[in-house]
Amino acid sequence: MKRKFFIVTFCIFLTWCLTISAYSAQKDQKNKKPSKKYYKKLSMPDYAPGQVLVKYKKNIPAARKKRGTKLAGIKRTLKKVGFKDKIHLLQTNAQVSAKDAIKKLKSQNIVEFAEPNYIRKLNYLPNDPFYNLQWHLNNTGQTGGVADADIDAQEAWDIEKGYSFPVKIASIDTGIDQNHPDLSSKITPGYNFAGISQKYANALRLVGAYDTYEFAQSIKGTGQSLTHIGLYITKYGSPPGNIAISVRDTLDGPDLASATIYRSDVRNTVQEVYKELNTPVVLNSETTYYIVFKATAANRNRFYGIAQNYSGTNYYVPDIYRDGSIFEFNGSGWENYSEDDWYFRTNPNNNPRDDNGHGTHTSGITAASTDNNSGVAGLSHGATILPIKAADSAGYFYSQDTIDSIDFAVSNSAKVINMSFGGPGFSAAEQQAINDANDAGVVLVASAGNDGASTLNYPAAYNNVIGAGCTDSSDDLCWFSSFNSSVDVTAPGLKIYSTMPTYPVEMNSSGYSNNYDYVSGTSMSAPLVSGLASLVFSRDPLLSPSQVESFITDNADDLGAAGRDNYFGYGRINAFNTVQNIDLNLIQNPSFEMDEDLNGIPDSWQGSNLEAGDGRSSDFAQEGNYSVKITGNSTKLKSVKQRIQVSGNAGDILTYSGWNKNEGATTAGRCNTALIYFNNTDGTRKYAGYLFFYRYTHDWLQLSKTFVAVKDYSSIDITLGYFYQTGTTYFDDFKLLKQ
């Protein structure tokens, strides 16, 4: 006997759902400040500035060489290169470009050739077999779109793949398939805040090999306590009794909580019956719980049926039922013809098993295993995934679960949080959790919504969240992408090919396949932004969340109206432009934000002659919340110092810059300077120069200077000093960049 249960599911809050919802207009606005330009936007040069490679002609007298190179604006020979030392690397004077020097050297007729010191780049291509389907990473027009309407991921990987400083990305979603071959090696231990995860329908008396079948039953929990049981159920005929529900931590153990579904609650068509337990059950993280249903004896003409939480009735499960048994699975649910129990087994809370499919798909977009000759490529190769299940199988997120999930992500060292979900309504509690995460140095990204309208969706509309809209393979706005003040950037989100669970899940009922499939929505756009944020952090882990956002927005490809607009935000993200324009600061803790031992001296720095009141200070700050403060002493040289463990070669060009502010200084005092020394590999120590800040009172002032290493070196020392002064000075945001 096989009856079909016709089930209609409601629109859920997961933003992959392409149903347009008409929410009421919201007054809440995302009051974000304009993107701050922390760095000058640069382009990777084709050759090293101020350097020339030459091969002199034979038999040219030394005096003629000297005269010719001087006329060409050459300052010194940096080194001889090549096996036979026939090629020389020359450095030009500061005011002479490499191009001009080459032209003049050739005009002196003393060189066989003179050319720039070219910079070459990798030409990387991942070996994942489905990479050609991932147009969002490298668009050649393979899907009928416009070539290069992508995020330039392939070009970005020549610079940064995410291994320089591997970042943990928290995915607050429906969970993850922890055994997926393209994800398993990237997953760190997560958590399940949805209360009940994937359910196993296991008829106690069902015999044979098919005694367990996985499907997403509508059993709901809220947070870490199970408070309600929801059941998709119907009846045939008039079953004689009610259904007793009990929750147990051992199958044959005592009831921890109970509820009753009355015969009158159940209709002859499938509907959800939602019952509150007589007492909440705290779901311990290591424990499996059993939801047991017991009905009075019936027969094949009078029975209850439990249905899958699927829309449609065509989900095919071969050989799962056994005709003639007291339980049958008819393709849509279990039918109980006896007084025997049904039961469902829950996952422990430390198991974020994906029973929907959405979380597995978004995780693959961000950080699927790459170069493993399997499946797809993720954007951030070096990133790990922290899966946090905050939604039940139908995709509902409760605020308290979202808040707990954000806190869990921060507590477990995530640097990026992806939130591919949303809905209307501002929550002060959620905003507070987001602010706390932002203050902890975490970047949060959320999908802007699939309403195809101007309705605000949260969490994308909160402050301190990067809101992601959707573009297609022609760089047009996706028809469903929400457009409003929450959109900071856009990213590809139409027909994105990524990982899917390897077992049956809710999304199968909508026609999606297991293992891999295409899915559309701003939910697919957000993880690309999150993946890019992790590449930015990998490139420079000391950046603040606002700096990371600035790099992403400042380097996006502007689409639509010039500048920021409510449709494309600042534009479609460009991974290559973003990572190539990040200056690699060699200085640790350059803005003095970190002081883990709370001794007043910023981490990675050492103090010399400092007194009470000196050290990390929140009085003033050029960047972030802190600077380093030194009070003057007319008899002392006071400073903070740092040794930078970086090696290099003669001819290396380094740019040194920083900010200084003086309060109450006197012109009679000495100076406040930022010194730089090279510790050479031959054992010598070379003073290279300084930044000389004005000795009188002044507001924040930035100075910058370029230095060239004369010898090979093993480390660099920098000193920020306030010498024999009587006022107070502040240093902040120092950078040492190696070209």
pLDDT confidence tier of residue 165, bands split at 50, 70 and 90: confident
The helix (run of H) or strand (run of E) holding residue 405 is helix 399-411
Contact 344, 291 (CB under 8 A): yes
Most confident stretch, 121-130, 326-335, 337-346, 616-625: 616-625
Q: Specify the range with the lowest mean pLDDT, choosing from 185-189, 290-294, 316-320, 533-537.
A: 316-320
- Cα–Cα distance measured from residue 158 to residue 377, given in angstroms and rounded to the nearest whole number: 15
pLDDT tens-digit series, residues 397-416: 888 889 999 999 999 999 99
Q: Which residues contact 529 (CB under 8 A, 6 or more apart)?
A: 445, 466, 468, 489, 491, 552, 573
pLDDT confidence tier of residue 310, bands split at 50, 70 and 90: very low
Q: Tell me the longest C-alpha to C-alpha distance in the chain.
A: 113
At residue 304 the predicted structure's pLDDT band, cuts being 50, 70 and 90, is: confident
CA trace torsion 28, 32, 33, 37 (10° rounding): -160
pLDDT in tens, 220-249: 444 456 777 766 677 878 877 788 888 888
- Report which residue type is found at 92: T
The 10s digit of each residue's pLDDT in 459-498 is 999 999 999 999 999 999 999 999 999 999 999 999 999 9
Strands ordered across the beta sheet of 713-723: 606-608, 637-644, 713-723, 671-680, 685-693
- Planar angle of CA 53, 55, 58, nearest 5 degrees: 165
The predicted structure's pLDDT at residue 530: 98
pLDDT band at 672 (very low <50, low <70, confident <90, very high): confident
How many residues would you count in the chain? Answer: 739
CA angle 232, 237, 242 (to 5 degrees): 60
Mapping DSSP to helix (H, G, I), strand (E, B) and coil, where does residue 421 land?
strand
Higher pLDDT, 633 or 667: 633
Least confident residue range of 354-358, 470-474, 519-523: 354-358
CA 631 to CA 209: how far, in whole Å? 79
Mean pLDDT of 436-444: 96
By annotation, the residues acting in catalysis are 319, 358, 523
738 burial class (0-12, 13-18, 19+ CB within 10 angstroms)? middle
- The mean predicted confidence, pLDDT, of the chain is 81
Least confident of 15-24, 275-284, 566-575, 655-664: 15-24
Res 27: pLDDT: 30
Structure tokens at 239: 């079953």
pLDDT band at 510 (very low <50, low <70, confident <90, very high): confident
pLDDT number for residue 541? 83
Q: Coil, strand or helix: which one is 174? A: coil
Distance CA 469, CA 484 (A): 10
Give the residue, 463 or 596, on which the prediction is more confident.
463
* Contact in structure between 628 and 616 (CB atoms under 8 Å): yes
Confidence class of residue 36 from pLDDT cuts 50, 70 and 90? very low
- Are 385 and 176 in contact by the 8 Å Cβ rule? The answer is yes
The mean pLDDT value for 322-327 works out to: 31
323, pLDDT greater than 60: no
Q: Of the ranges 157-161, 411-415, 499-503, 694-698, which one carries the lowest mean pLDDT score?
A: 694-698
Residue 447 has pLDDT above 90, yes or no: yes
- The C-alpha atoms of residue 421 and residue 344 are separated, in whole angstroms, by 27
Of 52-61, 328-337, 504-513, 609-618, minimum mean pLDDT range: 328-337
- Looking at residue 630, what is its pLDDT? 94
Q: CB neighbours of 100 closer than 8 A, spacing ≥ 6?
A: 73, 92
Q: Which domains does the chain have, with CATH numbers?
A: 48-118 (3.30.70.80), 134-192+352-580 (3.40.50.200), 200-345 (no CATH), 606-738 (2.60.120.260)
Among residues of the chain, what percentage have pLDDT more than 90? 50
Per residue in 144-155, pLDDT tens?
899 999 999 999
How far is 538 from 549, CA to CA, in rounded Å? 14
Max avg pLDDT among 21-30, 116-125, 164-173: 164-173
Query: In the predicted model, what is the mean pLDDT of residues 269-292?
Result: 76
Relative to beta strand 615-617, strand 627-631 is antiparallel
Cα separation, 277 vs 257, whole angstroms: 6
Alpha helices in 142-207 (DSSP H): 153-157
Cβ 361 vs Cβ 421: under 8 Å: no
Asked if residue 662 has pLDDT above 60, the reply is yes
For tokens 């015999």, the residue is: 207
Q: Distances in Å between the alpha carbon of 615 and those of 391, 589, 663, 674, 735? A: 46, 13, 15, 16, 19
User: Residue 716 pairs with which residues in a beta bridge?
Assistant: 644, 678
Distance (Å, whole) CA 642 – CA 699: 25
Residue 28 has what pLDDT?
Answer: 41
Cα dist from 50 to 75, 96, 314, 586, 652, whole Å: 10, 7, 69, 21, 11
CA dist 712 and 678 (Å) reads: 9
Q: What number is the average pLDDT over the span 669-673?
A: 71
Q: Say whether pLDDT at 106 is over 50.
A: yes
Q: What is the pTM of this model?
A: 0.68
Q: Residue 334 in 3-state DSSP?
A: strand
Higher pLDDT, 377 or 691: 377
| CA distance linking residue 556 with residue 566, whole number of Å | 15
**Looking at this protein, which amino acid is placed at residue 26?**
Q
Beta bridge partners of 674: 691, 720
Q: Which amino acid is at 196?
A: I
DSSP letters along 209-244, please?
S---EE-------BTTEEEEEEEEEEEES--SS-EE
Residue 587 and residue 593 in contact, taking contact as beta carbons nearer than 8 Å: no
Question: pLDDT category, 285, cuts 50, 70, 90?
Answer: low
